[in-house]
Amino acid sequence: GTGKTLLAKAVAGEAKVPFYSISGSDFVEMYVGVGASRVRDLFKEAKENSPCIIFIDEIDAVGRHRGSGTGGGHDEREQTLNQMLVEMDGFEATTNVILIAATNRPDVLDPALLRPGRFDRQIQVETPDMKGRVRILEVHSKGKPLADDVDLAMIAKRTPGFSGADLANVLNEAALLTARGGQSVIDSTIIDEAIDRVIAGPQKRTRLMNDKERMVTAYHEGGHALVAAAMNDTDPVTKVTILPRGRALGYTMVMPSEDKYSTTRNELLDQLAYAMGGRVAEEIVFHDPTTGAANDIEKATGIARKMVTQYGMSDRVGMVKMGGGSSEPMGPAGSGRSDDANSDTTLTTIDAEVRALIDDAHADAYWALNENRDVLDTLAYELLEKETLDEAQLAEIFAPVVKRDPRSVWLASRDRPVSTRPPIEAPAARRVAEARAHEAAQAEAAQAAGQTGSAPEAAETPEAQEPPQWPGQSGPRTDEDGREPWA
């Protein structure tokens, strides 16, 4: 949904040349030789109608790493891939045929496809940033009647990580909800509901919980939100609801205030504590946890395992990338193991480190909820009363929350000395600090001059310097009425 196929079509439209679009799965057939024959026919027709563009969508269907299929080393897909490699080698400078392909699994492509002379230029089509989301929303909002309270910039701020297709879906859902409600314009309330639908699914109005389940759900979601508020490196909590939506009985929404492209270790640890918040709230209040935390435990385990096996954030395992990740191509067909499978001892160590991270997160959540039990009770009561709380209401409830102390320094090794030297100050921040210091000095000098009755000497600042001289001019340049145009 990031726009790979749309981008290829836009290239063809800008170039104003014939455009041949085909899916990778169209080449693969059960009959021997059909795929290779289609490749030859496609490239032959393209060369006859050059200049032109060939676009192969989802090329991983035919370009997967050879030797990883289920039919051995000579299946039809590999024959098709070999023919494609031969045709691409036949391109010359005068052929005037451009080949573009798209995939969301670049890790499984055969290396021969990616060598220079073939697909040697790889372009990452990521989800849009804040400015990109605003521009996409402007495109998809054309022709839709928006109320005055709808701010596209605020919608973009509330949808970090959304692809172009997700944003289009939000506005389409909003238009449908507006029509069903008999309204003539799309207002901000409907936009909020549309965003919730895209994130968590439609609201289950027929799923009626009894009083006990509503109470447990209120404390569960309140536990998530309160732990997030008590940690130091979590994203702001923007919404909490106990209305069933999708497969969930309720949900807590945390949204970053700006686009982020990396995550620190402390942020990951706080994410683990946030995931444990619902389960811990059930343990503290009811002493009888439910199955509602199953998805939270699954997510927390995934984060902890990545910290140990991929991010090098375990001092016992070390900064080593462990095999067996889902993003790696598997070994021979049916083996079920990656080429660099870990030993039993290493797997035991990894499991122990994952368990330790989960236990620490459980302890952090337990401390946060015990320390702020009054806030938890207030939050659960408000959820039972209002069912949904927005960011402003949550900020008022969280005002007395006691924050967790910052974690101790982590160095990946206990034997390394701790450096107390801070990082450098960013140039922009330094300029701001210098400007503020200069303003403070000027204000202090003016105050001192007022007390002594003498005027201070003008400081050497850009404002105190002489205005620029125009060529052939002896004094400041003025307009006809005597004013300085830059004043």
Among 289, 201, 191, which residue's Cα sits nearest to residue 248? 201
pTM, rounded to two decimals: 0.73
Claim to verify: residue 100 and residue 79 sit in the same structural domain: yes
442 lies in a domain? no
- Give the domain extent around 92: 4-114
Claim to verify: residue 176 and residue 267 sit in the same structural domain: no
Please give the pLDDT value at position 430: 87
Please give the pLDDT value at position 29: 67
| Crossing angle of the two packed helices 34-48 and 76-89, in degrees rounded to 10 | 20
Please give the pLDDT value at position 69: 55
Lowest mean pLDDT among 47-56, 405-414, 449-458: 449-458
> Which of 397, 417, 437 finishes a domain?
397
- Token pair 């970053």: residue: 256
CATH number at residue 273: 1.20.58.760
57 lies in a domain? yes
Claim to verify: residue 244 and residue 365 sit in the same structural domain: yes
Q: Mean pLDDT, to the nearest integer, of 70-97? A: 72
Claim to verify: residue 256 and residue 345 sit in the same structural domain: yes
Residue 242 contacts residue 221 (beta carbons within 8 Å): yes
Claim to verify: residue 149 and residue 79 sit in the same structural domain: no
Lowest mean pLDDT among 217-231, 338-352, 459-473: 459-473
Please give the pLDDT value at position 357: 95
Residue 285 has pLDDT above 90, yes or no: yes
Percent above pLDDT 70 for the chain: 84
Residue 177 contacts residue 194 (beta carbons within 8 Å): yes
480 lies in a domain? no
71 lies in a domain? yes
Claim to verify: residue 264 and residue 169 sit in the same structural domain: no
- pLDDT tens digits, 402-444: 999 888 877 777 677 777 788 888 898 889 989 999 999 999 8
Please give the pLDDT value at position 210: 87
33: left (phi over 0), alpha (psi -120 to 50) or beta: left
Please give the pLDDT value at position 83: 84
- pLDDT tens digits, 101-145: 998 888 888 888 888 888 888 888 888 988 999 999 999 999 899
Average pLDDT of the chain to the nearest whole number: 83
Residue 468 has pLDDT above 60, yes or no: no
Among 290, 268, 450, 470, which residue's Cα sits nearest to residue 361? 268
CATH number at residue 16: 3.40.50.300
> Which of 397, 425, 445 finishes a domain?
397
Claim to verify: residue 81 and residue 185 sit in the same structural domain: no
Claim to verify: residue 68 and residue 188 sit in the same structural domain: no
Please give the pLDDT value at position 450: 77
Confidence of residue 257 (pLDDT cuts 50, 70, 90): confident
Q: Can you tell me the distance from the alpha carbon of 200 to that of 28, in angstroms, rounded to the nearest whole number?
A: 36
Residue 54, Cα to own-chain centre: how many angstroms? 31
242 lies in a domain? yes
Please give the pLDDT value at position 68: 60
273 lies in a domain? yes
Please give the pLDDT value at position 335: 37
- Higher confidence at residue 6 or residue 358? 358
- pLDDT tens digits, 327-366: 343 344 333 344 456 788 889 999 999 999 999 999 999 9
CA distances from 464 to 88, 95, 461 (A): 67, 65, 5
Q: Can you tell me the distance from the alpha carbon of 193 to that of 199, in angstroms, rounded to the nearest whole number?
A: 10
Q: Mean pLDDT, to the nearest integer, of 21-44? A: 79
Q: Mean pLDDT, to the nearest integer, of 202-209? A: 75
Exposed/middle/buried for residue 143 (C-beta within 10 Å: 0-12, 13-18, 19+): exposed
CATH number at residue 183: 1.10.8.60
Claim to verify: residue 361 and residue 314 sit in the same structural domain: yes
Claim to verify: residue 240 and residue 307 sit in the same structural domain: yes
458 lies in a domain? no
Residue 485 has pLDDT above 60, yes or no: no
Residue 113 contacts residue 66 (beta carbons within 8 Å): no
SS3 content of the chain, % helix, strand, coil (to 5): 50, 5, 45
Residues serving a catalytic function are 221
Claim to verify: residue 215 and residue 196 sit in the same structural domain: no
Confidence of residue 486 (pLDDT cuts 50, 70, 90): very low
Exposed/middle/buried for residue 329 (C-beta within 10 Å: 0-12, 13-18, 19+): middle
Among 272, 273, 274, 237, which residue's Cα sits nearest to residue 256? 237
Please give the pLDDT value at position 19: 87
For the chain, the domain total comes to 3
- Higher confidence at residue 425 or residue 226? 226
Q: Which range among 78-87, 152-161, 195-204, 211-220 has the greatest average pLDDT?
A: 211-220
Claim to verify: residue 65 and residue 13 sit in the same structural domain: yes
Beta strands across the sheet bearing 388-390: 251-254, 237-241, 388-390
Please give the pLDDT value at position 487: 35
Residue 395 has pLDDT above 90, yes or no: yes
327 lies in a domain? no
Q: Can you tell me the distance from the alpha carbon of 334 to that of 70, in angstroms, rounded to the nearest whole number?
A: 8
> Which of 63, 86, 114 finishes a domain?
114
